[in-house]
Structure 1
Amino acid sequence: MSVPPVFRVAVAGCSLTALTALTALSACAAAEEPAVEKLVPQIVATHPFNPESFTQGLEVEDDGTLLVGTGWYAESRLYRATLDGEELASVDLDPTWFGEGITRHGDHIWQLTWQDHTAVQRDAETLEEIGRVSYPGEGWGLCSTGSELIMSDGTSQLRRLDPDTFAERDRVDVTLEGVAQEGLNELECVDGDVYANVFLGTDILRIDAASGAVTAVIDGSVLPNNARPDPNHVLNGVAHLPGTDRFLLTGKRWPDLYEVEFVPAG
């Protein structure tokens, strides 16, 4: 039998010499698809949190204060608090609306509504409303990369939005090893990644913002859920602590805010 000739194959920017195209494709795919990390949150500290907050959005400002957006009809609001639980300011959302994700971008804050197709723009200092815009579909989670907003709507897609007008620029499909990931909820943007709670679950996904590929699955089931029993009182709320590798995690009506580091599982 004759030996197939050696030839060079270029696939998706990967050029290599191989005996067959199949070998080339396999080698290139393996080189371009790093293994998804399996992580867990390791608790560093536990802080008090308002057990009445149906948490839909959580962020830490540069001065260390928290921004919290809450949901539920006639209960939705946005408030600012210290890490030890002292409330500094609060504004209510229209009582007929169900509040969702929030994010600060520059000198304003955006607050989503669930099924009312409306985002409220607020002054970042006073929290007072300064404008409203409409969007199609549902609003779930929201974060700012510094140059754009990223929004979830409960599907496996993330929307890229203009941070000033809220106009949609593009969408990216989120996949874990090629499988679409539904139920993306509360979001946090950190250095090119998006951290997303998965609705009604305990996983947090770390997503490459450019490609939509999940690069890590963080198992939040290790965190104590001390909320009063209710199927809605799930893990929801992830915020990066500026200048550190730590995050704050909480849930809907959770009395605890966990300061954590993400470490390898097992």
Structure 2
Amino acid sequence: MSLKKFAPLVIASLSAGCSSSETAQPEVEYLVPEIVQTLPFNESSFTQGLEVDGSDLIIGTGQYGGSRIYRSTIDGQEKASQPLDPSFFGEGITRAGDVVWQLTWNEGVAFKRDATTLEELARVNYDGEGWGLCTSGDQLIMSDGSSTLQVRDPETFEQLNIINVTLDGTAVDKLNELECVDGEVYANIFMDTDIVRIDLDSGAVNAVIDASSLPNNADPDINNVLNGIAFIPDSENFYLTGKRWPDLYEVRFIPAG
């Protein structure tokens, strides 16, 4: 699904058990990433979640029999790692306070982990698929591959709200890896090189980032796509990578054209 042809949108934001409400159409920015530096990345990582945590990265990976969550330095030196049982396919991750949450794809299980050691503390069941996850203030934001984002409690993982995401009146589906920044969510679009920026209050997409210019140096494989976005605190920059990509790109987003 290419988003480049779309313009401003109307969005309906739904709460569980509540009716929808419309918001004014926002101005949509069209941006591209400008590479600041290129760093080495673990090319065996089927990246499903990426997050900056202090001076480290936390990475969640997928694939049955190969899923894990690990902590590394920015230049790739591993410091802690926890594998998933081969029956689980790992998905998105996020840190919320003293814990890290990790999703699974089809298994309906979220792992609650110690933020430092990444050791499992608890498991919580949820309905449907798990794709991306990020922390916005005192809430978790979760994607499931559809055009909706779920708002969840960071302690219990209970679902609180649902946000429908559309662009120019059209649902934007395949929302995947997420990064929450100052009341907005950046979302990778599965199997695409577009990233959308979503206003959390309204659900409105207010920017489309065309990341097709980033070099994909992974081995040829339909699955080795852009997937991984992490904000760098105290800056305006982000890290971007992909599934089994050997490179981690520090980028800034600038106007297209």
TM-score normalised to structure 2 length: 0.90
Q: Offset of 1:220 from its aligned partner?
A: 0.7
Q: Give the secondary structure class of the aligned counterpart of 1:222.
A: coil
State the 1:146 CA deviation. 2.2
User: Is 2:45 aligned against 1:45?
Assistant: no
Structure 2 distance, partners of 1:116, 1:209, is: 27
Asked if the contact 1:233/1:253 (under 8 Å) is kept, the reply is yes
2: CA distance, partners of 1:256 / 1:230: 16
Indicate the SS of the match to 1:223: coil
Structure 1, residues 52-90: CA drift from partner, whole Å, max 9, x if none? 0000000001x2200000000110000001111111110
- 1:126 equivalent to 2:100? Answer no
Cα deviation 1:25-66 (Å, max 9, x = unaligned): xxxx9x9423210000000000100000000000001x2200
Partner of 1:154: 145
Q: Which runs of 4+ in 1 moved over 6 A?
A: none
Q: Distance in 2 between matches of 1:53 and 1:195?
A: 21
d(CA) in 2 for partners of 1:34, 1:128: 42
Larger RCO: 1 or 2 (CA < 8 Å, sep 6+): 2
2:84 paired with 1:108: no
Instruction: Confirm or deny: 8 A CA contact 1:55 1:236 kept in the other structure.
Output: yes
Instruction: Write 1 or 2 for the structure with the bigger share of helix.
Output: 1
The answer to whether 1:70 aligns with 2:61 is: yes
Partner of 1:186: 177
| Residue 238 of structure 1: aligned partner | 229
- SS of equivalent to 2:212: helix
Give the Cα–Cα distance (whole angstroms) in 2 for the partners of residues 137 and 33 of structure 1. Answer: 30
Contact 1:56 1:236 in 2 (8 A): yes
Q: In structure 1, the residue corresponding to 2:70 is in which secondary structure? A: strand
CA distance in 2, matches of 1:33, 1:210: 13
**How far is the alpha carbon of 1:178 from its aligned partner?**
1.5
In structure 2, distance between residues paired with 1:178 and 1:81: 41
Separation in 1 of the partners of 2:114 and 2:179? 20
TM-score where L is the length of structure 1: 0.87
Shift of 1:179: 0.9
Q: Which runs of 5+ in 2 are unaligned?
A: 1-21
The equivalent of 2:214 in structure 1 is 223
Per the alignment, residue 242 of structure 2 pairs with 251
> Does residue 164 of structure 1 match 2:155?
yes
Gaps of 5+ in 1: 1-28
Percent identity between matched residues is 63
| Residue of structure 1 in register with 2:254 after alignment | 263
Alignment RMSD: 1.2
Measure the CA separation in 1 of the matches of 2:134 and 2:224.
Answer: 22
